[in-house]
Amino acid sequence: MLLLLATASLIAPSQIETQVLLECEAFDELGGWVLDQQFMDLMGSPFLLAHGMGSPVENAATEFSVEAPSSYRVWARTRDWVAPWGKEGAPGRFQVLVNGEAVDTVFGTEGAGWHWQRGGVVRLEGQNRAELHDLTGFEGRCDALLFASDLEWTPPGDPGACEALRQELLGLPEVPTDRGSFDLVVVGGGTAGTAAAVTAARLGLKVALIQDRPVLGGNSSSEVRVWPEGHVNQKPYPRLGDVVMEIVPVRGPDSKNAQGAHVFDDERKLEVCRAEPNLTLFLESRMNGAHAENGSIRSVVFENVRTAERSVVRGDLFLDSTGDGALGFLVGADFEQTDEGHMGASNLWNIQCLCEDEDPLSSELEAACELATFPRCEWAVDLRERPFPGREQGSREPQAGAKPISLGNWFWENGFDRDPIHEMERIRDQNFRAMYGAWDAIKNVEKRYPAHKLGWVAYIAGKRESRRLLGDVILTGEDLRDGTVFPDGCFPCTWGIDTHHPNPKYAQGHEGEEFIADYTHGKGYVYQGPYWVPYRCLYSRNIGNLFMAGRDISVTHEALGAVRVMKTTGAMGEVVGMAAAVARKHGCSPRAVHDDHLDELFAAIEAGAGKRSDQPAAR
C-alpha cells in the first residue's frame, strides 16, 4: 500500500489541510482487478483495470490511516475510456467504498483523458478501508485515490504537476536505489531479451534482466498468447537456437494462438533464468530513465510497478529488447518509425462452452445458457449488420451442428495509421470495442452459441511494430528477395515477408478504425530461406555500447515482416549474448566485435550456448 499524509506548507497552522494519496496498483488486495503498466510512461503511473469480460470483478481493497480526523473530498484519477469515440454508456463505471459505504459518485463516467474526477465527501478518522467496486466488468480503470480535507481544493491536471504531486505525497526518494553494476543490462524480457540474458550469463557475464511484467516471454507469454514461430537450429550453425528451444513452450496438440495459459508455460522461462547464477531478474520493473555520456549508456533507472520504488543499475553493455526501442529512444539512438501503414497490435481472445451437451432439450444446456448471458454493448463497435471473420454480412441463422466460429485470432488487429507509442491505449481499447461488439452481435443479435461465454481476453496488447533502431546495416525487403549475402550473416530468418494491413473485405464502415487485418500475399512475400541476417543490424550506429534484439532491430518496415517472429528474435538474442561475451573479453564495442573479432563471434555461434548434449535437428 502506498499512501502519505501530507500537509500544505504555505498556510497558517490553524488552517493546515491534509491530503491522503492511495496508489491503486499498490493496494493490499487487487481482487479481480489487474495491474496495467503499458501506458505509464504516457499517463504517469500503472493503474488497475476491471477486466471482467462483461462480469463485474471482485473488489480491490487497501487499509490506510489518517492522523487528522476530518471530512475529506474523494478524488479518483480515471477516465471514460469510450469517450474518444463519442460513445455514451460509460462501460468503465465503478464506485469507491470507504469503510463499507459507497461514495455518492459513480466514477469512470466522464472525460476522454486521464484526470481527477471529483467525488463526494466522507468522514475519515484512525484506521480506514478503501475499495474499488466494479459495476460492469467492462474495463473500468483507476490510477489513484486522493482524499483532501480542503473540500474546495482541486488536484492538478497537468501531467508534470500531477507527477510532482505524486512524488511529494508518496515521499519517494530523489535518488534511486543502487542495484549494482553489470557486464550486460538487458531491458525487456520477451523471447529476445530472455535468450540474450541466459546466453550471456552462461558465457560468464554478470547480467541484469529488467522486465515490466511478472512473467517473461512477451508476446509468447500467457498474457498475450501468440505461439512462437520461425525456425532455429539451421545449418551451417545448428546449435544456434538451443537456448531459444529451452525457453519457448513445448509444442503440443493445442500449440496455437489464444489457447489456455498452460500452453505458453510461463514457469518454463522463469526456471531457466533462475537457474543461472550470473543472471539477476528484476521483474515488475519498468525502465523509464537512462543516462548516457559521450555516446555511451552509463546506467538505466527502473520503477517497480507495484511499489513505485525507483532503482538504478550501471553497465558496460546494454541491450534494448523492449520492442519499442524505448531505451534507444531515451539515449538518442538513431531510429525510424513508419507513421502510417504500419502493422498494428492485437488483443487475442477465445470463447468457451459451459456445457458439453448442446442438445437443446438438455437441462444442462438450459442451465449453461443462463450462465452464459452477455450484456448489450451499445458503446462497442456496431457489428449488428457488419461482417467479420466467421460471420458474413447478412448471415443471421446459426447452422445446426456448426463448430464455434474462429474468433480472437491474430487478425483482430488495429492501429495501422495511429502512433504505436503515444496512441497505444486507444489502440488497445479499440481492440476491446471490436471484440465486445462482435460477441454482442453473435450472442444478442444472432442468438448463436447460447451456452458459450468469453473464455479469455488479453488486456496486454501484442504489438508488432513501432520504433526501429538503426545499425550499420539496415536490412531491406529487397535484400531478402535478392538473397543478398552479408559476410556477417549471423541468425536465420525463415518467416515470409509478412506485413499486415487492413483487410478490405471487412473495412467498409470502419475507415480509419479498421480492426481486421490481412497479410501480404504473392510473389513479394517469399524469398529463399533460411536467410542469414547481418550482425550489423544488432547494434546501434550512434550509441557505442547499445545492442538491439527483437522487433526494434535495424530493418525497414518491409523487412520487419520477416524478422519479427519470436523464435527468430530469440536467435538474435543468443547472438547478442555471444557478442557481448566477445566484447567484454576484449574490452571493445559491439561495432569492434564486427570489425576485429568476427571470427570469434562465429566460433561462439557454432558452439552454441544450450545445455542439451544431443545435436539438434533443424526446426
Residues pairing with 350 in the sheet: 456
Question: How far is it, in rounded angstroms, from Cα 383 to Cα 441?
Answer: 6
Residue 209 near residue 189 (C-beta atoms within 8 A): yes
pLDDT of residue 523: 85
Please report, for residues 24, 183, 349, 556, the alpha-carbon distance to residue 188 in angstroms, rounded to integers and kept in the order given: 24, 16, 24, 21
* Residue found by looking up cell 538503426 in the block: 470
Tally of CB atoms within 10 A around 523: 6
User: Which CATH number is associated with domain 5-157?
Assistant: 2.60.120.260
- Which three-class secondary structure string do you get for 99-144? CCEECCCCECCCCCCCEEEEEEEEEEEEEEEEEEEECCCEEEEECE
Rounded to two decimals, the pTM is: 0.94
Spatial CB neighbours of 178, under 8 Å, sequence gap ≥ 6: 311, 312
Cell numbers 477516465 label which residue? 79
Average pLDDT by consecutive 10-residue portion of the chain (619 residues)? 38 52 97 97 95 98 94 98 97 98 97 97 96 98 97 92 89 94 98 98 98 97 97 97 97 92 97 98 98 98 96 98 98 97 96 70 72 95 90 52 69 97 97 97 89 94 97 98 98 97 95 95 90 98 98 98 98 98 98 98 97 59
Please tell me the distance from the alpha carbon of residue 452 to that of residue 21, in angstroms, as a whole number.
42
Nearest residue to 194 via CA among 133, 247, 267, 145: 247
Burial class (CB in 10 A: 0-12, 13-18, 19+), 370: exposed
Cell 481499447, residue located: 429
Contact (Cβ atoms closer than 8 angstroms) between residue 244 and residue 570: yes
In which residue ranges of the chain is CATH 3.50.50.60 found? 177-341+464-494+529-607
The span from the CA of 436 to the CA of 82, in Å, is: 12
Cα distances (angstroms) measured from residue 524 to each of 89, 410, 411: 46, 21, 20
Question: What is the DSSP secondary structure assignment for residue 185, as one 8-state letter?
Answer: E
pLDDT at 614: 54
**Rounded distance between C-alpha atoms, residue 311 and residue 331, angstroms:** 18
C-alpha cell at 314: 550501471
Q: Do 440 and 324 contact (CB within 8 A), yes or no?
A: no
Distance CA 113, CA 127 (A): 33
Report which residue type is found at 488: D
Kindly give, in sequence order, each residue whose CB lies less than 8 Å from that of residue 291, ignoring residues fewer than 6 positions away.
Answer: 297, 298, 299, 300, 301
* Grid cell 533443424 in the structure block, residue: 618
Comparing C-alpha atoms, which of 381, 361, 186, 165 is closest to residue 276?
A: 186
Task: Enumerate the β-bridge partners of residue 128.
Answer: 64
DSSP state of 326: H
Matching residue, cell 480506514: 128
Phi, psi of 367 (to 5 degrees): -65, -40
Q: What's the DSSP call for residue 412?
A: B
Pairing of strands 452-457, 467-469: unpaired
In angstroms, the CA 89 to CA 86 distance is 10
Residues in contact with 531: Cβ distance below 8 Å, sequence separation at least 6, in sequence order: 480, 483, 489, 492, 493, 494, 562
Q: Let me know: does 212 contact 347? Beta carbons within 8 Å.
A: no
Residue 30 has which C-alpha cell? 487487487
Q: Rounded to an integer, what distance in angstroms lies between the CA atom of residue 372 and that of residue 349? A: 16
Q: Give me Rg for the CA atoms of the chain.
A: 26
- The reply to whether CATH 3.50.50.60 applies to domain 177-341+464-494+529-607 is yes
Burial 277-312 (b: 16+ CB within 10 A, else e): ebbbbbbbbbbeebebeeeebbbbbbbbbbebebbb
d(CA 438, CA 395): 13
Comparing C-alpha atoms, which of 566, 324, 352 is closest to residue 457? 352
Rounded Cα–Cα distance for residues 573 and 445 (Å): 48
CA dihedral (429, 430, 435, 440) in degrees, to 10, reads 100
pLDDT at residue 367, as a whole number? 81
- Distance (Å, rounded) from C-alpha 340 to C-alpha 465? 11
* Whole-angstrom distance, CA of residue 373 vs CA of residue 210: 42
Task: Give kind and range of the element (H or E) at residue 595.
Answer: helix 590-596
**How confident is the model at residue 401, as a pLDDT?**
45
- Classify 320 as helix, strand or coil: strand
Beta bridge partners of 99: none
- Helices 566-586 & 598-607, crossing angle to 10 degrees? 130
Q: Residue 133 and residue 103: Cα distance in Å, rounded?
A: 11
Q: Is the dihedral of CA 580, 581, 584, 588 positive or negative?
A: negative
Q: 506 is written with which cell numbers?
A: 471487412
So what's the pLDDT on residue 403?
54
Whether the Cβ atoms of residue 557 and residue 478 lie closer than 8 Å to each other = no
Nearest C-alpha neighbor of 547 from the set 594, 493, 485: 594
Residues of the chain with CATH 2.60.120.260: 5-157
CB 505 within 8 A of CB 547: no
